[in-house]
Copies of this chain bind each other. A is one copy, B any other.
Amino acid sequence: MSDKAATYSPRRLPELTNAGLAATAEITSYNEFNQPVEGSVAVERALTIYLDKREVVTLMTLGNYPELLILGWLRNQRMVEDIEAIKAIQVDWETESVAITTHSGVDDLDEKLSHKTVTTGCGQGTVFGDLMDDIDKVKMQQPRLRQSTIYNLLGTLNDYNEVYKNAGAVHGCALCNGENIEQFIEDVGRHNAVDAIAGHMWLKDLQGADKLFYTTGRLTSEMVIKVALMGIPVLLSRSGITRMGLDIAEKVGVTLIARAKGRHFLVYHGREFIEFDAVPESRTKAAPDQ
């Protein structure tokens, strides 16, 4: 599909606009005392995707990282295999659209558009193509993970979630490397946020094997599939899981930790890879289970 240059030459990356917009708007509401409360709410914007001039779909997004979102969407929907096949991604908020142009077209576009799965995810529920087919080929190597690393990450992550703290109604995702947070992205849909992280990884040519993925959202099947296909073997969530999310994590070998908040967490898969080096002193100090 791509016309890749010779080995060792730099990758030919797409031209990208830089059209990120403010994520919140100021609103006055009234509380239970009938008193005005000034506050922020998350903005939600429509963005219609045109792939080589063909209308594909409209996403609803916060709009703060539209180019990374579209890049990750192209990758996670398996629309384009090689980033070098993409010539440009041009976001235009006036027309609420993004024009994606490729160097030499998209293979089997009709076929890719024909099969739709509407998932349980917030955000972009539609999955073109059968991710489950791809997931059958994935088998990951789960890394060792220290409890102290989990705690340090949760502490640092607490400082992020900027839009959520101001406005609520968004989900955050983070790409973590050891105890460092490489990228943190929020969106009105948790699937948009995970796609934007995928876009960032694709653009920077980052591998997933040494990474950890954090999300404030629930670990439903599609979330686990997406993260597995990004090659990331550890998934940490502030929320819960579904049985199907766990099934997929077991199948592909993803360490699955949920309900992670403060000192509390529940390991659903991969306990043997966790080094419990920071067990809280007393059981009574920890948050209750659930």
Contact = CB atoms under 8 A, between A and B. Distances in A.
Given A44-B220, A118-B59, A121-B125, A279 B32 contact: yes
Interface in A7-54: 25, 27, 29-34, 37, 39, 41-46
Interface in A63-96: none
A117 B267 CA distance: 36
Given A44-B220, A167-B240, A242-B41, A117 B58 contact: yes
Top 7 A-B pairs, shortest CB-CB distance: A125-B125, A168-B240, A169-B240, A44-B242, A44-B244, A120-B188, A29-B266
B34 A222 contact: no
Interface of A: 25, 27, 29-34, 37, 39, 41-46, 56-61, 116-126, 147, 167-169, 187-189, 192, 218-222, 239-246, 258-259, 263-268, 271, 274, 276, 279-280, 283, 286, 289-290
A288 B208 CA distance: 40
Given A44-B242, A58-B116, A240-B167, A32 B220 contact: no
A25 B58 contact: no
* Chain A interface, >50% SS class: mixed
Contacts of A168: 218, 239-240, 259, 290
A266 B218 CA distance: 25
Contacts of A279: 32-34
A273 to B, nearest CB: 12
A149 to B, nearest CB: 13
A39 B290 contact: yes
16 contacts: A31-B266, A31-B267, A32-B147, A32-B276, A32-B279, A34-B271, A34-B274, A34-B276, A43-B242, A60-B119, A119-B125, A120-B187, A125-B125, A126-B126, A169-B218, A169-B240
Nearest to A46: B117
Contact of A120 (B27, B44, B239, B241): B44
A266 B30 contact: yes
A39 B263 CA distance: 19
